[in-house]
Amino acid sequence: MAEHIGHFISGKHEAGSGTRTGPVFNPSTGEEIARCAYADRATLDRAVTAATEAGQRWGRASHATRQSVIFKLRELMIANIDMLAETIGREHGKTTADAKGEIARAIEAIEFATNAPHVTKGEYATNVGGDIDVFSMRVPIGVVGCITPFNFPIMVPAVMTAMAVAVGNGVVWKPSEKVPSAALEFARLWQEAGLPDGVFNVVQGDKEVVDGMLEHPGIAGVSFVGSTTVGEYIYQKGTSHNKRVAAFAGGKNHMVVMPDADLEAAANAFVSAGYGSASQRCMAVSLLLPVGTETAKRLRELVVPKIQALKVGAYDDPAADFGAVISAQSKLAVERAIGDCVDAGGELVIDGRELSVPGHARGYYLGPTLIDHVTWDMEFYKEEVFGPARGIMRAATLDEAIAITNRHAYGNGAVIFTRDGKSAHRFTNEIESGMVGINVPVPLPVGYFNFGGLRRSKFGESHLYGPDAARFYTKLKTVSQRWPEPDQKALPISLAFSGSA
């Protein structure tokens, strides 16, 4: 009998009152390994009530108390990295090495959350007029709803929840129903770190519970990572219910390579950043954009053998460079995108659609695919392809390369490889992407800088991590105060508008 995966509410595992469930697969084998409970509105209500009641007490706890839990969580993440990587790999399909890399970035986010007392400090001004002092203070917003994607089962939730908890909120988290087990392990580590029961809750489910979170009057803010279509929906529906919403969506990240670049380094960077984790990353390089015919010719000659040398295998195969995609549906979608691009005139240089992994015939595997002569009018250029199919476009000049990149609806990340400072400077200033790399293939900021794209890669004004995340999870109060002397006479009545009387 398949394992049953439930919820985590008020410090306890429970099946919930809902009757619907969904399958959980091991992408490496294609086997159903569990059934995941889908929360109904009653289950969600219990989670929000728990987060509200426990969160109010937690929000009044001292900074020292909160920080001790964050520090302990960091220690537990390090101690349990092998267990977490195994859990991620079994349900996601990414290699063990890749999963451990994800966990390392999660730990980085937890480390930054220890700075919460500093990044939430207010301002103070004395005697602004009439012996009045004015100060600002940041306080928790209440209950935070977190909705996370399948591709980072631990990193994205850690980024969201560590800061939300550190500044004093209660949390209700809905992980992807494709990777539910990591959520329960993460909840267990929070509990072991000393977080009071009810502050951190997990509700499993699909769109039904998402809609419930967006409509629930007890949830003050929602943070989301996922596709652009869903991100836009969550932003519009959440804000219509007067919630603050930060929705981080898709990307189609271009890698511009100038003729003066180190082409060997650029080729290695493209393969690494393009195909890691079976290209199931919103910051993956999607399109290689060499400037000049000769640059394109030489780069293609360099990248083809490197791509062909990549090994695809099961998550626990130490020799595998990347693993399976998340689902049979995802595999079909990527195969369809490849076929449509070729039909539209793209040149299929490497075809990974017929890959077979020995001993894993039912796994959701795709080999690395490369299509040349992609043009801006193709769907392959317009849409995010969440699988190991990458493209080459051509530009005659840096101006054209910038125009091609900026023409795209998404603006998550963009990178340039060059030895010329002026080209890099122009690219940085003119490109319309939230995260920019100069000879860096994946411009994913460290945890103490803000993360977020532009245009249709982000809805809302906040950022996923960095100091801006602390501001998203807190609300600002500004206090004006006067303390008169004990024998001071009362001020006379005055109906004139004044800022200091």
Active site residues: 282
Closest CA to 466 of 119, 190, 165, 72: 119
Q: How many helices (H) and strands (E) does the chain have?
A: 16, 23
Instruction: Report CA-CA distances (Å) from 225 to 123, 281, 476.
Output: 32, 11, 25
Tokens 């180190």 correspond to 262
Beta-carbon contacts of residue 479 (< 8 Å; ≥ 6 apart): 134, 135, 136, 137
Q: What is the spatial distance between Cα 247 and Cα 315, in angstroms, rounded to a whole number?
A: 29
Which residues of 276-357 form beta strands (DSSP E)? 285-290, 347-350
Q: Are 212 and 345 in contact (CB under 8 A)?
A: no
**Separation CA 307–CA 300 (nearest Å):** 10
Helix, strand, or coil here: 354? coil
- Return d(Cα 34, Cα 5) in angstroms, integer: 7
Q: State the residue for tokens 């087990």.
A: 181
Q: Which residues contact 105 (CB under 8 A, 6 or more apart)?
A: 155, 444, 447
Write the DSSP string, 73-94: HHHHHHHTHHHHHHHHHHHH--
- Name the 3-class secondary structure at 451: coil
Burial of 480 (0-12, 13-18, 19+ CB in 10 A): middle
* Cβ neighbours for 388, distance < 8 A, ≥ 6 positions apart: 275, 278, 279, 312, 322, 325, 334, 352, 366, 367, 368, 369
CA dihedral 247, 472, 166, 281 (to 10 degrees): 20
Contacts of 247 (CB under 8 A, 6+ apart): 222, 223, 224, 225, 226, 231, 232, 234, 235, 238, 458, 459, 460
